[in-house]
Amino acid sequence: MNDGTVISLKGIEKEYRMGNKVVRALKGVDLEVREGEVLAVVGPSGAGKSTLLHIMGCLLRPTRGVVIINGIEAYRLEDRELSRLRNRLIGFVFQFYHLIPELTVLENVALPLMVSGMGRKEAGGKALSTLELVGLSERADHMPSELSGGEQQRVAIARALVNDCKILIADEPTGNLDMDTGISIWRIMEGLAGDGKAVVLATHNEALASRAKRVARMMDGALISMEER
């Protein structure tokens, strides 16, 4: 997109059927995300933050609405094409890291490359250079259990970045971390935005959210305000 918009959501709705009841998790959300910014999505539990991020990240199809990723209408694609779009453009970071405990730090980061067909040596080299971006190259041979929570989250960020994604989506990435460690993770996100990536993260932490360029506030599945910093 020529104006720097890399994600555009139009009229996004998500419904779940529970017996005879329909639960509306998202209610007509319109939102744009621009390259080179950190956008914080805030709101109480149950507001729809995670659902929104999963739809942005091409992990969950909306019930209604249009999702445009880097100029492509994502959910008109077949599942295989959608997976290819996601793997090429989007990195996802979760609250609980989801590192594989039997693999070293380097192997965890290299795994997405190897799954996509890259050779072990090349994948390892690229994984090591990505670990350098998050300040953990010296921990490459360690196991996840030997790392602190903040270090594990930095490994998860490196794994999300290893495919040279254009968009990083993070769902409560500091939720299990103390404030100082959370700030260090946030600074990594700010650095990524400074390099031109679009960063979207959900958080309950108002102090951290206040550092974002824009803050999208959600309540009961609806986007109720957009604050510019």
Q: Please state whether the predicted TM-score (pTM) of the whole model is above 0.85.
A: yes
| E strand or H helix at 160 | helix 149-161
Strand partners, 10: 66
pLDDT at residue 85 in the model: 93
**Do the beta carbons of residue 189 and residue 153 sit within 8 Å?**
no
**Radius of gyration of the CA atoms of the chain, in A:** 17
pLDDT at 3 over 80: no
Q: Where do the DSSP E strands lie in 103-213?
A: 167-171, 198-203
Cα–Cα distance for residue pair 164/114, rounded to 1 Å: 14
Instruction: For 72-105, write each residue's pLDDT tens digit.
Output: 999 999 999 999 899 889 998 887 778 999 999 9
Instruction: For 27-71, write each residue's pLDDT tens digit.
Output: 999 999 999 999 999 999 889 999 999 999 999 999 999 999 999
Cα–Cα distance for residue pair 9/29, rounded to 1 Å: 7
pLDDT band per the 50, 70, 90 thresholds, residue 2: low
pLDDT at residue 180 in the model: 85
What CATH number is associated with residue 127?
3.40.50.300
Number of domains in the chain: 1
pLDDT at residue 175 in the model: 80
Domain containing 172 equals 5-228
Rounded to an integer, what is the distance from CA 136 to the centroid of its chain? 20
> In terms of Cα–Cα distance, which of 39, 41, 84 is closest to 203?
41
pLDDT at residue 164 in the model: 86
**Do the beta carbons of residue 104 and residue 140 sit within 8 Å?**
yes
Instruction: For 139-194, write each residue's pLDDT tens digit.
Output: 999 999 999 988 998 899 999 989 888 999 999 888 877 888 888 888 888 998 99
Tell me the C-alpha to C-alpha distance, in Å, between residue 56 and each of 64, 109, 114.
13, 23, 25
Average pLDDT over the chain, rounded to an integer: 91
Instruction: For 171-183, write each residue's pLDDT tens digit.
Output: 988 887 788 888 8
Instruction: For 206-215, write each residue's pLDDT tens digit.
Output: 888 988 989 9
